[in-house]
Structure 1
Amino acid sequence: MDLPFLYETFLSLVAAVPLTLQLAASAIVFGAFLALGLALCRLSGILPLDWFARAYIFVFRGTPLLVQIFLIYYGLGQFREVRQSMLWVVLRDPYWCAVIALMLNTAAYSAEIIRGGLLSVPFGQIEAARACGMTRFMAFRRIALPLAIRQALPGYSNEMISMVKATSLASIITIMEVTGVAAKLISETYRAIEVFVVAGAIYLAINFILTRLVALAEYQLSPHLRQPAALPSTSTGAAR
């Protein structure tokens, strides 16, 4: 095992970690807002909105993410109307094409996770909030949404981990994140095993930290599930 080469490879790949985290964070944050909108469309009871959300989720969950990236980066640029529009300022940049593809993809999966969390909120708590004089929006913001986030967080953490790993596909469109730099090093050194072992270890470390942060968030959001602190026992021989 060539330790100096592994160390140099590690330094090269670590330099690309901020771009990987930026890609993942942007996709997760923007995708969360889009997923919330899709989940609300599913639960709205309005058929056009419901069918639109169903069709969106079906398309983006049923097609490979790599195909979606190719269609956005290479496909949209084939239309002259797109190249002559203001959208071209964004779509000609591979970074934003990757963010858009990752965002649209994760929103399709996250929408069903959020919908399940919203459906798990007891209806009695919503009725109690309305009986206290809260509007529907206030009851949703103060009661339904916090409870839904707590219920959906374990499943949503899996989607966040998937997004971190999915950023590796951005290297296909010339983005030099961790996998892109790894591919460049392999083309220069022809030492694929060592480079990919280091890259895999970096992804593993990122996801380990992410899972610990999610576990901490679950702990903070679930105080009712913790064991109460034991009261100090009083001495049986104390004087009356």
Structure 2
Amino acid sequence: MELVIDIPFIWTALKEIIKALPLTLMLTVIPLIVGFFIGLVVALIRVYEVKGLSAVANGYVSFLRGTPIIMHIMLIYFGLPMLLQAAAPKLAISSIPVSVFVLTALSLSAGAYLSEVIRSGIISIPKGQAEAAYSVGMSTFQMMVRIILPQALSQSIPNFTNIFIGFLHTTSIAVPSRILCNVR
């Protein structure tokens, strides 16, 4: 049996893939950047066990990590307009693009996953590092920014790449959900 490689088909497929690349990268990178900042705040709340906020942060992470992202997209797409309409009846919800809802859902999901990555990185740093920072007169903020976070984030690079690849794969459900959502 002879193996035949269909070069014209490969070229045609490659051109179609390249057309979708900007949207795919947008749906991957923007939620991960926004999710990083959400995750950083949530991780710090959980590490320092801030009263009142710690339980909310734990619930946020547990819910979003324990449910499928397609459900988050559907909840945001159908639920957020109802909440906004109830809060501000004169607001024109129909003019909001679908991509805003998808980016919001993906960002919230990324925040939950990245909070666990960041939290595990912070916890992995020996307590002696923080004690040494305090002993030279650093504040908690200075200690986190100068000592703990750089080490924690560098140790978390493998986990960040796993999350990036996972969200790159997750963008494939955004297009079908957009099709489903436009049925309304």
User: Normalised by the shorter chain, which TM-score bucket?
Assistant: 0.7 to 0.9
Q: What is the deviation of 1:81? A: 2.1
Task: Give 1:20's aligned residue.
Answer: 24
Task: Give 2:151's aligned residue.
Answer: 147
Instruction: Please list the CA deviations of residues 53-83 of structure 1 after superposition, one character each: whole Å capped at 9, or x if unmatched.
Output: 1100111011111111111112333453267
Task: Give 1:81's aligned residue.
Answer: 86
Superposition TM-score, scaled by structure 1 size: 0.66
Task: Give 1:128's aligned residue.
Answer: 132
Task: Give 1:69's aligned residue.
Answer: 73
For residues 18 and 49 of structure 1, do their structure 2 counterparts lie closer, same or farther at Cα, with a shift above 3 Å needed? same
Instruction: Please list the CA deviations of residues 1-36 of structure 1 after superposition, one character each: whole Å capped at 9, or x if unmatched.
Output: 643233222212211101111111101100000001
Task: Give 1:234's aligned residue.
Answer: none
Conserved 8 A contact 1:82-1:88: no
Give the aligned length: 174
Conserved 8 A contact 2:70-2:177: no
CA distance in 1, matches of 2:134, 2:55: 29
CA distance in 2, matches of 1:85, 1:116: 44
Which of 53, 59, 67 lines up with 2:63 in the alignment?
59
Letter paired with 1:145: L
Unaligned stretches of 5+ residues in structure 1: 176-240
For residues 85 and 32 of structure 1, do their structure 2 counterparts lie closer, same or farther at Cα, with a shift above 3 Å needed? farther
Task: Give 1:4's aligned residue.
Answer: 8
| Structure 1 ranges of 4+ moved more than 4 A | none
Task: Give 2:119's aligned residue.
Answer: 115
User: How much identity, in percent, do the aligned residues show?
Assistant: 34
Superposition TM-score, scaled by structure 2 size: 0.85
Task: Give 1:165's aligned residue.
Answer: 169
RMSD across aligned C-alpha pairs, in angstroms? 2.2
CA distance in 2, matches of 1:114, 1:63: 20
CA distance in 1, matches of 2:127, 2:23: 43
2:28 is the alignment partner of 1:35: no
Q: What is the deviation of 1:169? A: 1.1
Instruction: Please list the CA deviations of residues 126-149 of structure 1 after superposition, one character each: whole Å capped at 9, or x if unmatched.
Output: 111122121111111000100110
CA distance in 2, matches of 1:108, 1:165: 17
